[in-house]
Structure 1
């Protein structure tokens, strides 16, 4: 597997960290771009990388501004469009480097909100949208913290608090939870402005979801205690597009890509992308996953 990491310019010139994983020799069929959630970073999708790259997919992932190896105050943005336009700059950067027509976007948790907002603004750049445990409504943050954030956004936008999410609800895999606990790239902070901008964009998405043109795969664990599976189901039912697919996983927690049944989840993603892409050969199932250093 060919792995590179470097920086690209965000929409305003801010250097943002990214990673790229490609097969050593086999031809690339499609590219998958991954967007992590609040407090996360691009290293957290290793199961998806090691299982999808052997199938001929190229994978790109970035660290959002204020996250991981990218600069910026942890968990802070001035406007939501910073996330959207950074993602647009990232996809444009990828297209200048790779001679591949098909691009899928996978957003997890808050990354799902970012990805859905992007797809509603720039549908022409995507062949498919994958949302796993998207943050589209009720989230596992104490209500008083959300209220404080929205009140202070106008007067003290950089005010920050630990969001208070119970990370034991992220995965049933105790090894994963132990890795999370010692991961220096993760953070647990949200700022007043981010809180206000998040709920503003969620309201905008609710008003504009009937404009969604991109084929959609929505995934959620039934035991997710961080984002609401019930809201995902009702949200999915409200989408008018014919090309939409919903997968739910009994007993699964929030980080589906790192839960005990991650192979089932990644297989579902691979099968859906194979149906919506321009592959020159059939998908090989069961998936054969490489080890990562």
Structure 2
């Protein structure tokens, strides 16, 4: 049975999923652009079943958190927000190993977090991360006006129900990018590229080879810069952007849970 608890800190909406027994590890989740932590219920439940306490927060401007919708002016601040959640999790479960998992924009946040606080982590998992090169940012910033074009929901998953549910979700952002957020993304990608490698921190990179939103080859250079000797790369030929919502999501989650369990054993 998965138990949940919600609260706010500094105007940010946070949630924890836990089992009835004492956890063996902590997993922090950093979600992607425009979405919210409620879209990770199934992943959290799978991690809890394997002994984790799972903590996540709606980033500023997202979900139920404070701020103008999808407006992020500095990803260093978002990393700081996530570190605040880390502090809460460690206070509630002292002494447990902590793993960070980031998806898409959350992968950028997680990568930068690991560069700043990697010594405190047991492992890092990057899912379809915005690191290395993301041509969409450069192309959009070059335009005089950001087009108000909704996300093509077919890019998320081969499972059509995923896109339909996304389109109907009232706290998912369905409007255009905002220029300050794009500029912050551009600076964040550069900060990761200019920052240190992760050395001995165990790193898992998962990506769909048919991901049209964050193409795999753009992310590869960023991951290669980050990775150290303890590294696992798993890609799936026909999978799109949201691997945890793909047709093979169970297999993906099994791989991630196994990696986390191995690297964050107590």
TM-score using structure 2 length: 0.92
Q: 252, 255, 258: which one pairs with 2:239?
A: 252
How many Å separate the matches in 2 of 1:55 and 1:237? 29
How many Å separate the matches in 1 of 2:199 and 2:172? 32
How many Å separate the matches in 2 of 1:65 and 1:246? 30
1:269 aligns with 2:256: yes
Q: Deviations over 1:149-178 (max 9, x none)?
A: xx89xxxxxxx7646542210011122111
Q: Secondary structure at the match of 2:177?
A: strand
1:169 aligns with 2:151: no
Which runs of no fewer than 5 residues in structure 1 stay unpaired?
Answer: 10-14, 153-159, 280-293
What's 1:21 paired with? Answer: 17
How many Å separate the matches in 2 of 1:168 and 1:177? 6
C-alpha distance 251-143 of structure 1, shift in aligned 2 (>3 A): same
Q: 108, 124, 128: which one pairs with 2:123?
A: 128
Q: Secondary structure at the match of 1:205?
A: helix
Q: 210, 219, 238: which one pairs with 2:206?
A: 219
Q: Secondary structure at the match of 1:190?
A: coil
Contact 2:133 2:219 in 1 (8 A): no
What's 1:41 paired with? Answer: 36
Which runs of no fewer than 5 residues in structure 2 stay unpaired?
Answer: none
Q: 96, 103, 106: which one pairs with 2:98?
A: 103
What's 1:92 paired with? Answer: 87
Of 175-184 and 230-239, more deviation after overlay is shown by 230-239
Contact 2:132 2:220 in 1 (8 A): no
C-alpha distance 161-99 of structure 1, shift in aligned 2 (>3 A): farther
> How many correspondences in the alignment?
264
How many Å separate the matches in 2 of 1:273 and 1:44? 20
How many Å separate the matches in 2 of 1:95 and 1:163? 41
How many Å separate the matches in 2 of 1:161 and 1:73? 19
How many Å separate the matches in 2 of 1:211 and 1:136? 14
What's 2:180 paired with? Answer: 193
C-alpha distance 84-163 of structure 1, shift in aligned 2 (>3 A): farther
How many Å separate the matches in 2 of 1:162 and 1:21? 35
Q: 52, 56, 61: which one pairs with 1:61?
A: 56
RMSD of equivalent CA atoms = 2.1
How many Å separate the matches in 2 of 1:163 and 1:198? 19
What's 1:7 paired with? Answer: 8
TM-score using structure 1 length: 0.84
Q: Deviations over 1:216-275 (max 9, x none)?
A: 101000110000111233433444510111110120110001111111111011110111
What's 1:77 paired with? Answer: 72
Contact 2:193 2:225 in 1 (8 A): no
Quick check: which has more Rg, 1 or 2? 1
Contact 2:133 2:189 in 1 (8 A): no
C-alpha distance 213-74 of structure 1, shift in aligned 2 (>3 A): farther
C-alpha distance 115-128 of structure 1, shift in aligned 2 (>3 A): same
How far is 1:36 from its partner?
0.5
C-alpha distance 34-162 of structure 1, shift in aligned 2 (>3 A): farther
